[in-house]
Amino acid sequence: MKNIREFEFGKIQIEENFVIGIMKEGSHVDRESNQLLLSFCKDYFNGKSFGYISHRLNSYSVDPTVYMDAGNHPGLKAIAVVIDNPLIKSNVALEKQFFNQPFESFYSVEDAKEWLSKLLVN
């Protein structure tokens, strides 16, 4: 059984050293929803470093300034964004400019997991 936490705007699947977020169709990730995610991760990982995978299965909007807050979170070490549409890559490039830690896009969750796993052991 997978460890999943539901929020009004989406859900996260909790892995050993990262979470995979899947936002709901049409939702908007703003500072308030981002703070809920960061607070949950802070409590769950309890000082341990972790990564975040944004699995973009649905169409939703993101306030790019949430990445400035996320970049100041002491445990969050990297963000991976998994996309299936190359046109979304330009959105991800914009979002990356607001985050001061490693931030990359991938076309598969497995590639994102592998990248995060390598970063989190170093």
Query: Tens of pLDDT along 25-75?
Result: 999 999 999 999 999 999 999 989 999 999 999 999 999 999 999 999 999
**Domain map of the chain by residue range?**
3-121
Distance between CA 8 and CA 109 in Å, rounded?
Answer: 23
Summarised one tens digit per residue, pLDDT across range 94-117 is 899 999 999 999 999 999 999 999
SS3 for the chain, per residue?
A: CCEEEEECCEEEEECCCEEEEEECCCCEECHHHHHHHHHHHHHHHCCCCEEEEEECCCCCEECCCHHHHHHCCCCEEEEEEECCCHHHHHHHHHHHCCCCCCEEEECCHHHHHHHHHHHHHC
pTM (2 decimals)?
0.93
3-121 CATH: 3.30.750.24
